[in-house]
Structure 1
Amino acid sequence: MRDKTTPVAAPLVTGLCLAALTVTGLPAAVATASAPADQAPRTWRVGPDRALTTPSEAAAVAGDGDRVLIDAGTYVGDVAVWTQDDLTLRGDGGRAHLQAGGNNAQGKAIWVVAGDRTRVDRIELSGATVPDGNGAGIRQEGDDLTVTRSWFHHNQNGILTGAAPDSDVVVRRSRFFRNGAGDGYTHHLYVGAVRSLTVTGSWLWGADVGHELKSRAARNTIVGNRISDRDGTASYSVDLPNGGRSLVAGNVVVQGPRSENSTLVSYGAEGLTHRSRQLWVVHNTFVNRRPTGTFVSLAAGSRAHLRNNLLVGPGDLTTLAGAEARGNRRVGAGGFVRPGADDFRLRAGSPAIDRAVRVPRRWRPRWEYAHPTRQVRRRAVGRPDLGAHERR
């Protein structure tokens, strides 16, 4: 599958207050440019009843290390470029909803994040579309991005990052739904060739043709999430096209009946270009609601370890003959709490209880998903259970 990773830049939308523009109509103390390097970080407050009424106005005045607290509410048509380093962007009093409303920054996204070490918390971004079809809620161009408690929906891409070999991307307790342009090139979460990606405690569902999660990172840690097509047409649930040192553990992964690809997890489909070809797929609950499928597709040369996974529905465990596979078990839907609602916690008497084989400590899932978008410590009493959840 081809991907458009470097969209052609379109002209900046006019009439918007972006980081490169000067704020007008504000008190002098507020409209001053970013603070000198020796000045302590500032906190900027944004809201309809404040001096800074939109996030783009804060983008024009904030400095490195500052905090931007955005009042909960909906901001329609406001887009921004953030160039500062060590910046915190946080919804205050609830999620701040940035609704594109037909606008975009630099032909790329609602927010273009060009600074390094940015933290985004309790932000909702929706409706990002651009002429080349590769628009994103967040387009990450700097190094290091941490996103927590945030929502991305009805965008062409949820989050899209470029290639940055020294960058670490972390997503925790966030939701991605109804993203994708329906062309197969756009995804909920599309991470380029960065150093590492970590996704935990998050809920990804209903991608439009594209993948629920796609990562070209050299290291991937995907632990304790719910990844479900539901009624969507997503392709792969998890796509790691270039390999890399990867852990896929403690996830509930549900392939829906309308999925356009019968594989749930794909590793190395576009060539094992990373130095490490090691993949651990452990303690997941995989559900296939198509008539056929493959739970884990592996490129030749993969060093894969598949242990303690529960398989629900038809399909082959893997495509690679000789892959190390232990403790995986196919079960029916009757041993789960509410499988029709994607709740695959174990019922008493499940054949998955106390059946796990040994997994090296460094590859065990430390967390399990708690709906919605939370994570709890996974603690086994005696021998661990199979699948994504310990019976409590």
Structure 2
Amino acid sequence: MAGFIKKYLVVTGILINISLLWVVFAKPDFYWGLQKSVEKNLRKTAPPVANVIFGEVIRYSLKDDLKQLGFDQWSPKPALPTSSNIIRSDQFKSLQAASNALSSGDTLQISQGTYQQAFIVKANNVTIEGLGHVVLESAIVDGKGAIVSKANNLTIRNIECRNIKAKAQNGACVRFHGKNLSLEHVYFHSGQQGLLTSNKAGKIIIEDSWFINLGKSGRAHGIYVGSDTELYISDSVFLGAKDQGHEIKSRASRTLIQRSIIASLSGFDSRLIDIPNGGELFILESILEQGPRSVNETAIGYGLEGKKYSLNTIKMRDNIIILERDGKNNLLHLKNPDTAVVASSNLVISSQTTNLPGLNFVFDSRAEAKLAPYPHLPPLPKHP
């Protein structure tokens, strides 16, 4: 009898393990969901047991992450020399009155201070510039954003913007309905959306800027650029999108990201980069980090709402990519697997298999790649 019981237990154990392996490989989403459910219940009912099985709970904090990484304090830059006509905000009763005085070619210099004001820009070919530390906060115009413009060739420089909210849940620091916008050394954070553009917005250029802790209900994002537009991002930072927002959402025909950091950290974000209508996507010499609390398993989504353009390619070179979401991680989600993906010299850290083609350097962990533990971000890679 004892022998029979022993054989029964051995066979049963083998069958259970085979079944478990089948679930892990054939139904990974079900497996991860079941594991999360079991862990959640054990955390409530038997914390010591949960700590033994799943490890100690890590207390994530975006605020602490930003402080540790040095992204908790932003500093303005000195005003750039200009030969254009200067309109000074302190000569007017409001920012809107100052903006109304602008003519083509003028520069509006906003004096240092915190403004609970929003304004519309009507003149083409103008620059809005902060003198010293300028903060726009908690005010919108037209139910849209802090700075709203239908004008063409607008430059916004050296301004902090925060806490922008709208009833439509897409309140933006900048709502742009014109053609050709440049954002230079701006800091947009802690609101629903940093930038929202219309379709056919010409060229959108973002340089030396920070977009942090932005998003709302999965419909507002760090930035959201419309279709039939070109988006160029360089030397900028997109961190910790919230409430299932993407750090970058672009329907542009061409999206180029260079020398920039795009990281979830402890944010409840969705994708790092969402390119729903395809087009040309270039990611060069940048850092991508999918954090432990990312809601979406995919770091980059491409063409998931159907391709709009005749030219559809993805090129990734000399990037550092860290996938450390709790659960399943997927670097690229392509609706059409035939999309041309060219990748080379990327350093990828992931405990799971990635679908990145080409000659790249793949490590299972930060330790194996000789990188400091989370939330550390390495220096930006440099292409020789």
Deviation at 1:242, TM superposition (A): 0.9
Cα offsets for 1:254-305 (capped at 9, x unmatched): 1111101011112111112111111101221111122321112223131111
The change in CA–CA distance for 1:268 and 1:226 in structure 2 (over 3 A counts) is: same
- Describe the SS at the equivalent of 1:57: helix
Correspondence list, 1:207-246, <5 A: 207-208=241-242, 209-246=244-281
Unaligned ranges ≥5, structure 2? 1-82
Match of 2:88 among 45, 49, 52: 45
Correspondence list, 1:1-392, <5 A: 42-46=85-89, 50-76=90-116, 78-93=117-132, 95-100=133-138, 103-164=139-200, 167-181=202-216, 183-208=217-242, 209-290=244-325, 291-300=327-336, 301-318=338-355, 324-334=357-367, 335-336=369-370, 338-345=372-379, 368=380, 378-380=382-384
TM-score when scaled to structure 1? 0.72
The 1-side partners of 2:365 and 2:84 are apart by 56
The answer to whether the 8 Å contact 1:249/1:284 transfers is yes
- Describe the SS at the equivalent of 2:130: strand
* Greater helix content: 2
Cα offsets for 1:342-379 (capped at 9, x unmatched): 3224xxxxxxxxxxxxxxxxxxxxxx57xxxxxxxx35
TM-score when scaled to structure 2? 0.74
The answer to whether the 8 Å contact 1:336/1:343 transfers is no
What is the letter of the counterpart of residue 97 of structure 2?
Answer: E
Query: Which aligned segments of 4 or more residues in structure 1 are displaced greater than 4 angstroms?
Result: none
Deviation at 1:113, TM superposition (A): 1.5
* Greater strand content: 1
The answer to whether the 8 Å contact 2:253/2:280 transfers is yes
The answer to whether the 8 Å contact 1:280/1:304 transfers is yes
The change in CA–CA distance for 1:126 and 1:211 in structure 2 (over 3 A counts) is: same
What is the letter of the counterpart of residue 317 of structure 1?
Answer: T
Deviation at 1:145, TM superposition (A): 0.3
What is the letter of the counterpart of residue 102 of structure 2?
Answer: A
The 1-side partners of 2:370 and 2:121 are apart by 45
The 1-side partners of 2:185 and 2:195 are apart by 14
Greater CA deviation, 139-148 or 299-308?
A: 299-308
The answer to whether the 8 Å contact 2:331/2:354 transfers is yes
The 1-side partners of 2:112 and 2:288 are apart by 32
What is the letter of the counterpart of residue 269 of structure 2?
Answer: A
Q: Root-mean-square deviation (CA), in Å?
A: 1.8
Unaligned ranges ≥5, structure 1? 1-39, 346-367, 370-377, 381-392
The 2-side partners of 1:154 and 1:140 are apart by 19
The 2-side partners of 1:87 and 1:109 are apart by 18
Deviation at 1:240, TM superposition (A): 0.9
Q: Identity over the aligned pairs, expressed in percent?
A: 25
Equivalence for 2:60: none
The 1-side partners of 2:350 and 2:383 are apart by 27
- Number of corresponding residues: 298
The answer to whether the 8 Å contact 1:257/1:289 transfers is yes
What is the letter of the counterpart of residue 295 of structure 1?
Answer: L
What is the letter of the counterpart of residue 117 of structure 1?
Answer: N
The 2-side partners of 1:146 and 1:194 are apart by 17
The 2-side partners of 1:267 and 1:241 are apart by 5
